[in-house]
Amino acid sequence: MMENIDDLKSFLAMPREIVIVSHRNPDGDAIGSSLGLGLYLQRKRHNVKIIFPSEFPDVFNYLPESDYILIHDNEPDTCDVFLDKAEVIFCLDFNSLDRIDRLGVKINGKQAVKVMIDHHIDPEPFPDYMLSEVSASSTSELIYDFITMLGDEKMIDPIMGECLYTGIITDTGSFRFSTSAKLFRIVAKLKEIGVDDKKLQDYIFNSMPIKNMQLLGHCLNNRMEIIEEYGVGIIVLNKYDYKNFDIQRGDTEGIVNYLLMMKKIRLGVFISQQPNIIKLSMRSKGDLSVQQIARDHFKGGGHKNASGGSFHGSLKSAIEKFKEILPDYLNKIN
């Protein structure tokens, strides 16, 4: 529950200049929660701009008003104009200003009212209002809660619902992670108001370009390693893979999940060689916490069964480090 929600409700009772910001490399939840909240605030007569630090995957272009999202990397001056005018800045799906790079420095210096809505652990105390719930499936679920707290649940229409459903289904891996009875009640309400979940499933999961299917085959056939004694699967992509397959933002989304489809694999990691850093995306089954591994060794975090991190150094060193720490977190499988 957000403290002082009535004070924020009173402040939002008259039209405001509002900016919504989410994290770098925005995923389905970042995009869905931002657009869902933006559409709601527009209906409340606010002037709303959505700003992301970097571009988002083309697969989410079906979402309403996604064409109007501003990308700070591409239009920093335009973004600065709206940040300067903002009376309220909503920070969605991140809990630390360093997650939004240069935008974080700018926002930290603004006098605007700052509102954080997020579901990651250990939030920084920079906002004036905070709705932080680590048990939530997604920030999109929390946006539904936030609108309900303001007394406007009935204002959620099918268009807003499509945005929130997109965030929920992508962040839960099609309802495999972080689910709850409360979440399914929300999803049922979204269907009741007319959200076409089958259509959204097609947009998200059945629109893969040929290039991406070929990349997936390459990952599973040529870049996958199984460590059977610990029940671990690893997929590694190097800079040459990125060049050969012309990998763009979002093209590798979800590949790590294929590792967990094998019966005896309980931890999967996708390691990719970026221009200036090594990125790790981890998934796990059951009580095994990849969040702890990401936090302790790779300057990252996230959720118990889905986390990410980074490593400064060579790709070889990152792989070696990951393998070295496995005995500290996993017992051998008999």
Same domain (yes/no): 27, 94: yes
Indicate whether 102 belongs to any domain.
yes
Same domain (yes/no): 224, 82: no
Same domain (yes/no): 172, 44: yes
Task: Give the CATH number of the domain where residue 268 resides.
Answer: 3.10.310.30
CA gap 89, 27 in Å, rounded: 20
Is 0.85 topped by the overall pTM?
yes
Residue of 251, 303, 313 whose CA lies nearest to 282: 303
Same domain (yes/no): 221, 189: no
Q: Dihedrals φ, ψ of 283, to 5°?
A: -135, 150
Give 334's pLDDT tier (boundaries 50, 70, 90): low
Indicate whether 334 belongs to any domain.
no
Contact 230, 330 (CB under 8 A): yes
Torsion sign across C-alpha atoms 179, 183, 189, 194? negative
The neighbour count for residue 26, using CB atoms within 10 Å, is 27
Indicate whether 314 belongs to any domain.
yes
**How far is it between the farthest Cα atoms of the chain?**
63
Mean pLDDT, residues 52-67: 92
Task: Give the CATH number of the domain where residue 181 resides.
Answer: 3.90.1640.10
What is the residue range of 47's domain? 5-205
Contact 225, 269 (CB under 8 A): no
Of 190, 205, 220, the last residue of a domain is 205
| pLDDT digits 0-9 by tens, 300-318 | 888 888 889 999 999 999 9
Indicate whether 70 belongs to any domain.
yes
| pLDDT digits 0-9 by tens, 69-122 | 999 999 999 999 999 999 999 999 999 898 898 889 999 989 999 999 999 888
Same domain (yes/no): 301, 270: yes
